[in-house]
Amino acid sequence: MTILFNKTETKNFRKFLRKNSPTPESIVWSKLKNRQLENTKWRRQYSVGDYIIDFYCPEKKLAIEIDGDSHYHRKAIIQDKEREKYIKSFGIKFLRFTNDQVMRNLDGILNRITENLTSPLPLLEKERSQ
């Protein structure tokens, strides 16, 4: 049987990513860890297949990505769409926020995450305008 989640071969890279998180990711993690949000358990840098998700709540099957500047180039946008489609194929809800959104509107981000934790169906993400 093939292991698709938290693959052993990505362990060192995931550990590196956790230790070298950009500031916006660190800020979001400070609000998710220790069951602070809706008493849910979150994992950082969790792998699904060959992809690594910034944050993942297995209980609610909710993934969160915090996008920095590298995500806005044509090739990266196409890769992000493929990645998101693959992750969603496992029934995982997917939220994407920008670094700027985290820095300017953390409360709005946390409210959006909470809405998705408490909703049985995925909520449509607003056009990166929060």
N-term to C-term CA, the chain: 41
Q: What is the pTM of this model?
A: 0.79
User: Is residue 77's pLDDT more than 70?
Assistant: yes
Looking at every residue in the chain, the average pLDDT score rounds to: 84
Reported confidence tier of residue 80, pLDDT bands at 50, 70, 90: confident
- Taking only the tens place, the pLDDT of each residue in 87-112 is 999 999 999 999 999 999 999 999 99
List, in order of start, the domains of the chain with CATH numbers.
8-118 (3.40.960.10)
- Interatomic CA distance for residues 35 and 42, integer angstroms: 7
